[in-house]
Structure 1
Amino acid sequence: MATKRITFRLYPTKTQNQQLHYWRKLHCLLYNACAYHRKTSYKRFGKSVSYYDQQNCLPEFKDCWAEYKELGSHALQATVKRVDYAFTRFFKLKSGYPKFKSSRFYKGWTYPCKAGWKACSSGKNGYLKLTNIGNIKMRGQARDWGIPKTCTMMFKQGKWYASITVDCLPSRLQTDKGAVGLDFGTYHAVADSNGNVIDNPRFIKSAQAKVNSIAKQSRRKRPPKKGVKASRKWKKANRAVAKIQAKVARQRQDWQHKVAVEIVSCNSLIATEKLNLKAMTRKSKGKRKKQKSGLNRSLLDVGISNLKSLIEYKVTEAGGFYIEIPTQKVKPSQTCPNCGHQKKKALSERIHSCEKCLYTCDRDVASAIVCLNYARGQVIQH
C-alpha cells in the first residue's frame, strides 16, 4: 500500500463559500492565539508550552467561544499542531520565529482523520461532504484511488481546493532495463549519459514581460500603508500578477511530470549527483549580485529539487533504482568520463575537452557519464 495525495477543485454555493471563509478565519485566529500563548508564556513566566498543553485547553476554549464547536475537535487539533511544527522548525534552526498569520492569506485547515468529512467519489469528480456545511461539488481525476485518510481545505487564487490523501495500490509504471546518468543545470535542464539533452523551458522568462507590464501599472496605484487601505486597482493588479505566477507553476509541474515519465519509462537504474540546492540558490553577498540573482532564477525555473523527487519516486515505484552520488567526492563536472583526470572548469566552459586523453563531449553529458560509471561501480560492489 502507498499513500498518495490528490487535489480536487471545489465548487461551493454562495452560502457554502461564505461559511468556508468564516471557518478559515476562525482557524487563523486559533493559530494566532496558540502562537501568542506560547510567546507570552515563555517571556513572562519562563515556561514552555507544548502541543499537548494547548490541545488539552481546547474543550475550555470551545466553551468560551461557542462558534468553534461546529468546526470539529480533530480539525482544531490539527491547527494547534501546525503551531507546534512551526516552533519545532524554529528550534531546529530550519526557519525563523513563527509569525502571526493574516486571515487574508491564511490558506485553510486540515482534517487529520475521517471525522468531519467524507469524499463521495471513485477517483473522478464527485462531491465532498463536510459536517455542518453539506455536499460540495468537486472536480478532478486520480490516477490511483483507494481509502481516503486525510483532507486539507485550501483557498488559492480565489478558488477552493480539497487535497485528499488516500491509501492505495499504485499502478506500476512500465520501465525498461536501461541505465542512465543525469546532470541537472540551467543551460540544459537535463542532460543524460546517452548524449540527449532537454532544454530549459524558461517559463519565468516567457512570462516576465507580462509581469513587468502589470507591475509597472501596480506601482502607480496606491499600495497598502499603515492606517491606509490599498486601492482596488492596486489589488486587481496584484491578483493579475499572482494569476500569471500560478500558471507558470502549473506549466512547470506538468513539464516535470512528463520529463520524469519519459526518463523512467526507458531506464530502471538512474544515477545523478547530490546537490545542495539551498546553498546553490543563496543570495550573493559580493559584487556580482545581478549575475547571481539571474543564475538563481534559472535554477528555480527548472525546479531541480522537485524534478529529482518525481524521478526518484516514479522509478522506485516501478521497481527500479535511484542513486545519488557524493558530489564533493566524485566531482562529476571536473572529471573526465574516459580516463578519470580531474581539472577545474569555469561555468562558461560548455565543452569538456580532456588535456590528458583528448576526449571531447558536452560538459553536462560528461558529468552524467561520470555519475553513471560511479553508480554502476557501487551496484557491482553491493
Structure 2
Amino acid sequence: MTLTMNYCYRLYPDAIQEQTMLHWLEISRKVYNYALREIKDWVNSRKCSLDYCSLEREYIIPADKPFPTYYNQQNALPQAKKEFPLLAEAPSQVLQTTIRRLHDAWNYFQHRGFGFPRFKKFGQMKSMLFPQFKTNPITGWQIALPKVGKMPINLHRPIPEGFVVKQVRVLRKADRWEVVLTIKSEVSIPIAQPHGEAIGIDLGLEKFLTTSDREFIARPRFLTSLYRELELLQRKYARTKKGSKNRQKVRKQVARFHNHIANVRKDWQFKLANHLCTKEGIGIVLVEDLNLKAMSRGMLRKHTQDAAFGQFLNLLEWVAKKHQVYFARVNPDRTSQTCPKCGTHTGKKELSERMHRCGECGYETDRDHAASEVIRLRGLEQLSTQGLWGIENAYAVGLPGTEETPSRSEAKPRKRKTRNAKL
C-alpha cells in the first residue's frame, strides 16, 4: 500500500531567487494562454454549420488538423524554445506541468459541461510544479530546486522516516512563498474500525455544529465580523491609479487580509476537529453528507461559504484517521423532520422554529440536537445492517441475503444442460 501525504512549509528565497521565480510564473502564464488560444481557435473553426458558412468567422485552421492534445502541445515545446528563447529560461518540466494543468481544466469542462478555461491575467499564475527529483531536494534546513539553487525552508515538522519526496509545488501567497512537498512511502496503515461510542454531528448556521451528546458550538463569523475592514481596504484599492506602486501596495494588503481570515478559520476548524476526535470513549464520528454546492448558491451563500463546511468535513475526516476514529457520512434527508425517539415524521419545520416537539411520544429538545441524534441512529443502523457500508465481516449483523428463506430451502436444484445431453 502506498501512502501519499502533502506537507506545507514556509519558503524564504532571496531577492534574486524571488525575481527568478516570479519570472518563471510569468512565462508559465504565457504558455498557458498560448496553449488555450490554440484550443479556442480549433474549437471556433469547427463552429460553422454544415449547410452554410458564417459571415463572421471562417476556417482559420485546416479541417484535417487534429485537436491540440496535451501530448501535441508538449511535444511542440522544444521547437517553440528555438523560436522564442524566453521559454528556455524556465525549467522544461514546469512548462509541461502548466500545459497539463490546462488540459485537466479542459477535461473537467468536458465532463461537467460548463466552466470553459479562461485566460490568466498578469499575476494570476500563483504556483508552479516540479514533478520529479533524482535525489532528495531537502538538505538540512534548505531545499534545492532546479535552476534556482538552494533556499531556506522552515521545517517546522520533520519529514517522517521512510518517506521520499516525489514532487514539489511552489506557491505565491500575497507577499510570502510556500512550498508543498508530496511525500510517499510503502507502508501499511490499518483502517479505523468502528469501536467505542458513536457521536452524531449536525451542521448549521445558527450554531456551527451540534453533537448528539448535547454539545453546542457557536459559529464564528470570520469574514462578516471583519467585513468592514476588508471593505475599506477594497475601497482604497479601487481609488488608486492603475499601474501605480500604491495600487500594488494596497493589493498586497488586501491579499494578506484574505490570507489572515483563511488561516484563522482553518486553525479554528483543526482545533475543533481534534476536540471532537479526542473525546473520551469516542470511536465513531457520523456526519451528514450535505449538498454543499447547492447550499453555497442559496440566499445565505455568504454565510455558508464563510462557515466553510466542506473544508471542516475534510479536516474532520483527516483528523479522525489520524486518531484511528471511524468516520462516515449518512443521508441528510429529513433529519430535522424525524423524531429520534419514536421515528415519527413530524413534518416540515420553518427556520424560525428551533425546538423539536413530537406529537406521538411527546419528546422535546433542541431542533439541531434532535437532528444530530437522528444522524447518529442512521449511521449506526447502516453499520449494523450493511456491515461497514457493504463490506461483509464477522461483526456485521443482519447482512442482506444471508438468511435462508422457504423458497431457498424448498427449491430443487436444476440439472445443467450440456452439449452431450442434447446430442
Residue in structure 2 matched with residue 289 of structure 1 by the alignment = none
CA distance in 1, matches of 2:225, 2:197: 35
Alignment counterpart, residue 233 of structure 2, candidates 210, 214, 218:
214
The answer to whether residue 313 in structure 2 is matched with residue 296 in structure 1 is: no
Residue in structure 2 matched with residue 287 of structure 1 by the alignment = none
CA distance in 2, matches of 1:83, 1:252: 30
Residue in structure 1 matched with residue 338 of structure 2 by the alignment = 335
Alignment counterpart, residue 273 of structure 2, candidates 251, 260, 267:
260
CA distance in 1, matches of 2:116, 2:128: 21
**Superposed displacement of residue 232, structure 1:** 4.1
**Superposed displacement of residue 54, structure 1:** 1.1
Whichever residue aligns with residue 139 of structure 1, its letter is: N
Question: Do the aligned residues in 1 keep the contact of 2:143 with 2:150 (CA within 8 Å)?
Answer: yes
Percent sequence identity is 27
The answer to whether residue 325 in structure 2 is matched with residue 312 in structure 1 is: no
Q: Aligned to 1:92, what secondary structure does the other structure show?
A: helix
Question: Do the aligned residues in 2 keep the contact of 1:117 with 1:130 (CA within 8 Å)?
Answer: no
CA distance in 2, matches of 1:65, 1:277: 45
Q: Give the paired residue count.
A: 360
Q: Aligned to 2:255, what secondary structure does the other structure show?
A: helix
Structure having the larger proportion of residues in helix: 1
Residue in structure 2 matched with residue 37 of structure 1 by the alignment = 38
| Structure 1 runs, 4 residues or longer, greater than 4 Å off | 168-176
Cα RMSD for the two superposed structures:
2.5
Distance 1:22 1:318, change over 3 A: same
Residue in structure 2 matched with residue 90 of structure 1 by the alignment = 109
| Gaps in structure 2 of 5+ consecutive residues | 46-60, 388-423
Give a deviation string over 1:141-175, Cα, whole Å, max 9, x none: 23753211111111110222111111256999999
**Superposed displacement of residue 234, structure 1:** 4.2
Rg larger for = 2
Give a deviation string over 1:237-277, Cα, whole Å, max 9, x none: 34323222210100011111111111122322111211111
The answer to whether residue 349 in structure 2 is matched with residue 364 in structure 1 is: no
**Superposed displacement of residue 41, structure 1:** 2.6
Distance 1:378 1:187, change over 3 A: same
Alignment counterpart, residue 376 of structure 1, candidates 362, 377, 380:
380
Whichever residue aligns with residue 306 of structure 1, its letter is: Q
Distance 1:143 1:311, change over 3 A: farther
Residue in structure 1 matched with residue 349 of structure 2 by the alignment = 345
With structure 1 as the length reference, what TM-score do the two structures score?
Answer: 0.87
Q: Show the 5 A alignment for 1:62-81.
A: 62-81=81-100
Q: Aligned to 1:183, what secondary structure does the other structure show?
A: strand
Q: Aligned to 1:198, what secondary structure does the other structure show?
A: strand
**Superposed displacement of residue 235, structure 1:** 4.0
Per mean C-alpha deviation after superposition, the further-off stretch among 349-358 and 42-51 is 42-51
Residue in structure 1 matched with residue 154 of structure 2 by the alignment = 139
CA distance in 2, matches of 1:367, 1:144: 41
Question: Do the aligned residues in 2 keep the contact of 1:173 with 1:318 (CA within 8 Å)?
Answer: no
Whichever residue aligns with residue 254 of structure 1, its letter is: D
**Superposed displacement of residue 87, structure 1:** 0.8
With structure 2 as the length reference, what TM-score do the two structures score?
Answer: 0.79
Residue in structure 1 matched with residue 419 of structure 2 by the alignment = none
Residue in structure 2 matched with residue 161 of structure 1 by the alignment = 178
Whichever residue aligns with residue 205 of structure 2, its letter is: T
Alignment counterpart, residue 200 of structure 1, candidates 215, 219, 224:
219
Per mean C-alpha deviation after superposition, the further-off stretch among 357-366 and 208-217 is 208-217
